[in-house]
A and B are shown apart, each in its own frame.
Chain A
Amino acid sequence: MRPIEIVTQALELIAALAVAPLFLGWINQCRAWLQNRRAPSLWLPYRGLRKLFHKDAVVAETASPIFRLAPYIVFGAMVVAAAIIPSMGTRLPFTVAADAIALVGLLATARVFLSLAAMDIGTAFGTLGARREMMLGFLAEPALLMVIFVASLISATTALPAITENLATQALGLYPSLAFTGVAFTLVLLAENARIPIDNPATHLELTMIHEAMVLEYSARHLALMEWAAALKLFNYACIGFALFVPWGVSTGAGSPLSLAASIPLLAVKLTVAGAALALIETLSAKVRVFRAPEFLATAFLFAVLGLLVHLLLGG
């Protein structure tokens, strides 16, 4: 383990933790602009987190230890996921521990604990949110796995940094399979992060909410961790997307300090563009009924499977 690898790993973790709320703030700002509203401050998510960390936590009487533990487990899972995803460099000491499939499992663990905590109190809303989340999860996960399989087939490995390295260093080509899976991944990203066609992150409208229904019972530091974890999840998904579909600019090979330094502004540019694109998609699309969500995710799965089949047939 060379010092540069440790530096890369540490930088990635710090960047993920620090930038995730900013990324969320940037998306909210773009959305506000596109909807002709006055945009909230970019720093609003940070202020929200600080406010929540300074409050005293209130926990329901019926809460079991799972309810208290869940925020730490969910947050921890998201931090580990951030450590695995190559957003700046491909030589990460952490990635030996888990490949892309384990990463999907990590995200699933977070989902399970979030849902368990939501059902723990026994309120109707929590249960409703948890059930919907599990329904979405079991539809979105196969699609995400298919997306990863296509990239793995192209690179002949399931290790995410190796995939990124392979895609970033080979000659530029038109991959119909990657184009299909890119669309599938975008759909999964929207569904998994409670974005607009599936869930609206900005409302507390009872009948339609999914993610907000699950964290309804949390307060203070627990809620702060949950919200930070949600922001981290969005950041992680964006970085998985970069790793698979726009891997250029990541420090590859043995990794030099110069390429690592160059990858930081590039990551910033990618995040800026991706945030604006997400805001645009959310503004242009209407929220679908919950019963239509399976259709939405079936489309994602279809795109991913088509990508896989086209890859197998056309050999690209």
Chain B
Amino acid sequence: MAGIAFDLQLLNLCASLLLLLSFAMLAQRRIVTLVNLLATQGVLLFVATLLLAWRTGEHHLYLSAFLTLALKVVFLPWLLHRLIRRLEVYWDTEPLLNISGTMLTGVLVVVFAFGLAQPISALANTATRNAIGIAVAVVLLSFVTMITRRKAMSQVVGFLSMENGLFFGAMSATYGMPMIVEFGVALDVLVAVLVLGIFFFQIREQFDSLDLHHLESLREREPDAGRQVRPFEEN
């Protein structure tokens, strides 16, 4: 490590901290903290992108860095915090696995991801190719976060963190996607969160909770609470 340039060392540090934050998200049950962790992940991505832009001299990376800052550090967390306040969901239920079990699963996932990324890293010729493994690990860990959670809110946070991982992967494998793709993805994420926000209200309207387990039963329930909307009968 001591033989590597200092900015690359910083980049590696950012990558490791991203991985650490993914684990923190895996363990965290408070949704407010989960959103804050997501914002921190955004800050790290911003710093990493800036460092990479400075190192490679690619100007479009500056643009995508500030896009990250605006969207993932400021706007989306603000939106999610607002949603949390209005929906009044502060805690997720106990995850399906206990914390230690989830953590150990996470470690196995990281080992798998590192193995998976080895051939990709061998093909890439960027200075940050070692970090591809970490990006894959972040994506898979976000998957695990989404799988082990029940509340719609934490699943959305997991989804956004997965997007962060993909972004970081693209950055370390090929110094970022083409600008038009990046804008497209950013817009998609934005629209997805907006639509999901509306969706949350609909889910709560239907089931009185944001627990996604209610969505698993396809059979229509008896109109016990009187809140059930039946589109066919209403017409």
Q: Are B9 and A174 in contact (CB under 8 A)?
A: yes
Query: Is A316 close to B, CB under 8 A?
Result: yes
CA distance A56 to B114 in the complex (A): 61
Interface-located stretch among A63-71, A189-197, A297-305: A297-305
Number of interface residues of A (CB under 8 A): 24
Q: How far is the CA of A310 from the CA of B20 in the complex (A)?
A: 10
Chain B residue with minimal CB distance to A303?
B20
Q: Give the interface SS of chain B, mostly helix, strand, loop or mixed.
A: helix
Judge whether B235 is part of the interface by a CB distance below 8 angstroms: no
Q: Report chain B residues within 8 Å CB of A298.
A: 99-100, 103-104
Chain B: interface residue count, which band? 20 to 34
Contacts of B100 on A, CB cut-off 8 Å?
Answer: 294-295, 298
The answer to whether B99 and A170 touch across the interface, beta carbons within 8 angstroms, is no
Beta-carbon contact of B10 and A313 below 8 Å: no
Q: Does A314 contact B (CB under 8 A)?
A: yes
- Cβ-defined contact, A306 with B1, below 8 A: no
- 0/1 per residue, B52-82, Cβ < 8 Å to A? 0000000000000000000000000000000
Given A176-B16, A295-B100, A314-B16 in contact, is the A309-B9 Cβ separation under 8 Å? no
Interface: B131 (CB within 8 A): yes
Assess A314 versus B131: contact at CB under 8 Å? Given A180-B20, A295-B99, A306-B19: yes
Q: Which of A179, A302, A315 makes the CB contact (< 8 A) with B103? A: A302
Q: Judging by beta carbons under 8 Å apart, are A306 and B20 in contact? A: yes
CA distance A29 to B15 in the complex (A): 40
Residues of A within 8 A of B131 (CB): 314
Contact partners of A171 in chain B: CB under 8 A: 2-3
Query: Which chain B residue shows the least CB distance to A183?
Result: B20
Q: Distance in Å from the Cβ of B124 to the closest Cβ of chain A?
A: 14
Given contacts A313-B130, A313-B134, A315-B130, contact A175 B20 (CB under 8 A): no
Are A176 and B12 also in contact (CB < 8 A) when A313-B114, A313-B130, A313-B134 are?
yes
Closest A residue to B121 by CB, please name it: A313
B169 at the interface (CB under 8 A from A): no
Task: List the A side residues contacting B111 at CB < 8 Å.
Answer: 309
- Point out the residues of chain B lying under 8 angstroms from A170, CB to CB: 2
| B residues near A305, Cβ cutoff 8 Å | 107
CB-CB contacts of B1-41 with A at 8 A, as 1s and 0s?
11110100110110111011001000100000000000000
Q: Bound state CA distance, A179 and B99, in angstroms?
A: 23
Q: Which of B12, B17, B103 interacts with A299 by CB under 8 Å? A: B103
* Shortest beta-carbon distance from B103 to chain A in Å: 5
Q: Does B165 contact A (CB under 8 A)?
A: no
- Asked if B9 contacts A306 (CB within 8 A), the reply is no
Give A175 to B1 CA distance when docked, in angstroms.
7
- CA distance in complex: A180, B9 (Å): 15
**A173 interface hit (Cβ, 8 Å):** yes
Question: A172 near B: Cβ within 8 Å?
Answer: yes
Q: Are B2 and A310 in contact (CB under 8 A)?
A: no
